[in-house]
A = this chain, B = another copy of it.
């Protein structure tokens, strides 16, 4: 096993122990324990995924669908548990994106020569 793998496992551990991940886990657990909030969050994720999928497939998204998503989003954010979770997701995403940027630099520099 090469050194890169060893360090990747260390990074996995560091991510698990990061404030960003611990907050995310705590926020998730709180949403999961509260059945109506969990249901609302699941609906929200479902519609987000649908819109994303439609976007990937190049399909048109109707104004109605966008409006429905925005309404659901506005209602969901009224829940402090969901607002917390979204905030925690945002910070965890920044961490993961930053890490991906750092570790993809070697390949990007290389491929960059050919573009």
Contact = CB atoms under 8 A, between A and B. Distances in A.
Interface of A: 2-5, 7-12, 14-21, 24-25, 28, 32, 41-42, 45, 56-59, 92, 95-96, 98-99, 102-107, 110, 113-114
A106 B45 contact: no
Q: How many copies does the complex hold?
A: 2
Contact of A99 (B4, B32, B56): B4
Contacts of A56: 56, 58
A102 B28 contact: no
A102 B99 CA distance: 13
A90 B8 CA distance: 19
Contact of A11 (B11, B57, B98, B113): B11
